């Protein structure tokens, strides 16, 4: 056994000893600089912290252990009420009544490559909340974040089904427009980047942000120029009620769908006229599960069936957020590393996979890290959540979404 593995197992042994001594009775804020190391947030939800000896230095880990076997415990998407919006994890947790949570997917954080184009704040991958589909995934070349490991996709998700079981899966958009000209493929739903030559649908879930970003870049180059060939069609009560040559912005009324086309998609939409009937059909299709998802969030796998995903970066260390699945999908491990100066060296993706495996996970999923990494809990009786790690930017970053942990009474 390598020395680093022995030190890691020692750290886990110390953590287990704290848990055994303290049990479920531990209370207190558990700040990042001291004991107690483990406490119960609510029945079935525990918060712990421990140190991990890593290749580039010791990093401090903050861990939420969530028992989905407890019927009073559930997880769901934290988000600001619109796909194209951002807020801090603590603010999202407070607004939705979560007792704990972490940040989520990578997102459209900036538009330096397209001056004058509004950054939407929208997440990269698919998202489902309370069984409702919010959005689909952007093309691989349009994503923000580190390079994806081989064999992974922007459509990869961590989800929890109606069977209260967590699993890794892939959610692909299937959809079409039924028009007087025939059936047209729909290749986007509330996403900040549409495939070249495609048509995408935007609903009230999108929010008020400009839709211009959806027509910028290419399927392989996020920084490619914005398309000059665009068209929008607004559908209400299955009828065309408005058209426009350029992507718009502002709230979309409930029951209304805005269709946005670029290049060939724009040319197809120009054939539609006010008053014509158009039906919009869309859904996310799971690659491996027949169980409907109540919750799903984007990111990418780092651990499958107890083994690290091939091709993981073992050289670049960073502050990380990740999720492990253990006990056949009945327990979630929500992991965030600390961004304080002594621990900011962080973990490589290979070390993230190894850490989750040593914590008992068989599946692991990486989320947005760096300045986004945040873990919060709410003490019993408190009205607001407390940030337990030190965000590497010194303050919480506004993010697109997160994973909320809820304790129903």
Q: Which two tokens stand for residue 399?
A: 């993010």
Least confident of 212-216, 323-327, 376-380, 396-400: 376-380
Averaged pLDDT for residues 343-367: 97
pLDDT digit string, tens, across residues 246-267: 999 999 999 999 999 999 999 9
CA distances from 187 to 96, 142, 245, 356 (A): 31, 14, 19, 35
Query: What is the rounded distance in angstroms from the CA atom of residue 336 to the CA atom of residue 322?
Result: 7
How many CB atoms sit inside 10 A of residue 275's CB?
8
Residue matched to tokens 């996709």: 153
> Of all residues in the chain, what percent carry a pLDDT higher than 90?
89
Burial profile 114-139: b = 16 or more Cβ within 10 angstroms, e = fewer: beebbbbbbbbbbbbbeeebbbbbbb
Quick one: pLDDT at residue 269?
Answer: 98
pLDDT digit string, tens, across residues 108-166: 999 999 999 999 999 999 999 999 999 999 999 999 999 999 999 999 999 999 999 99
> Of all residues in the chain, what percent carry a pLDDT higher than 70?
91
Quick one: pLDDT at residue 37?
Answer: 79
CB under 8 Å to 284, separation ≥6 — which residues? 126, 128, 133, 136, 171, 172, 173, 174, 296
Question: Of 279, 274, 280, 268, which is closest to residue 181 (Cα–Cα)?
Answer: 268
| Predicted TM-score (pTM) of this structure | 0.91
pLDDT digit string, tens, across residues 211-247: 999 999 999 999 999 999 999 999 999 999 999 999 9
pLDDT digit string, tens, across residues 74-117: 999 999 999 999 999 999 999 999 999 999 999 999 999 999 99
pLDDT over threshold 70, residue 388: yes
Quick one: pLDDT at residue 35?
Answer: 41
Averaged pLDDT for residues 12-38: 37
CA distances from 171 to 156, 204, 356 (A): 7, 21, 23
pLDDT digit string, tens, across residues 268-316: 999 999 999 999 999 999 999 999 999 999 999 999 999 999 999 999 9
| DSSP 3-state of 131 | coil
Confidence of residue 17 (pLDDT cuts 50, 70, 90): very low
Least confident of 18-32, 163-177, 194-208, 237-251: 18-32
| Mean of the per-residue pLDDT values of the chain | 92
pLDDT over threshold 80, residue 349: yes
Confidence of residue 183 (pLDDT cuts 50, 70, 90): very high
Q: Which two tokens stand for residue 61?
A: 């880990």
Q: Which residues pair with 102 in a beta bridge?
A: 375, 403
Quick one: pLDDT at residue 32?
Answer: 40
Confirm if 54 and 343 have CB atoms less than 8 A apart. Answer: no
């Amino acid at each position: 056994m390598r020395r680093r593995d022995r030190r890691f197992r020692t750290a886990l042994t110390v953590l287990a000893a704290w848990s055994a001594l303290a049990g479920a009775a531990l209370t207190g804020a558990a700040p990042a600089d001291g004991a107690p190391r483990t406490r119960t947030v609510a029945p079935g939800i525990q918060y712990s912290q421990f140190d991990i000896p890593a290749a580039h230095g010791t990093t401090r880990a903050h861990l939420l252990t969530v028992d989905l076997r407890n019927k009073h415990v559930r997880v769901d998407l934290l988000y600001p009420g619109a796909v194209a919006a951002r807020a801090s994890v603590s603010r999202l947790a407070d607004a939705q009544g979560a007792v704990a949570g972490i940040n989520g997917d990578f997102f459209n954080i900036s538009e330096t490559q397209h001056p004058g184009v509004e950054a939407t704040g929208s997440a990269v991958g698919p998202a489902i909340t309370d069984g409702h589909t919010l959005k689909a995934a952007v093309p691989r070349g349009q994503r923000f974040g580190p390079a994806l490991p081989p064999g992974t996709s922007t459509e990869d998700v961590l989800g929890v089904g109606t069977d209260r079981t967590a699993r890794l899966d892939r959610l692909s958009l299937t959809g079409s427009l039924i028009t007087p000209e025939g059936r047209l493929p729909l290749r986007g739903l509330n996403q900040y980047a549409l495939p070249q030559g495609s048509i995408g649908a935007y609903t009230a879930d999108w929010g008020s942000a400009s839709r211009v970003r959806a027509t910028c870049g290419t399927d392989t180059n996020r920084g490619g120029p914005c398309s000059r060939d665009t068209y929008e069609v607004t559908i209400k009560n299955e009828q065309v009620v408005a058209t426009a040559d350029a992507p718009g912005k502002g709230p979309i009324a409930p029951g209304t769908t805005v269709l946005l086309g670029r290049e060939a998609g724009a040319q197809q939409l120009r054939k539609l006229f006010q008053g014509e009937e158009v039906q919009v059909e869309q859904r996310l299709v799971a690659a491996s599960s027949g169980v409907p998802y109540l919750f799903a969030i984007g990111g990418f796998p780092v651990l499958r069936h107890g083994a690290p995903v091939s091709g993981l970066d073992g050289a670049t260390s960073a502050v990380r957020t990740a999720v492990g699945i253990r006990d056949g999908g009945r327990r979630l491990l929500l992991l965030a590393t600390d961004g304080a100066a002594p621990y900011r060296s962080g973990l490589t993706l290979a070390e993230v996979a190894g850490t989750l495996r040593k914590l008992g996970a068989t599946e692991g999923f990486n989320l947005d890290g760096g300045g986004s990494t945040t873990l919060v809990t709410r003490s019993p009786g408190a009205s607001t959540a407390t940030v337990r790690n030190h965000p590497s930017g010194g303050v919480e970053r506004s993010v697109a979404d997160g994973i909320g942990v809820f304790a129903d009474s």
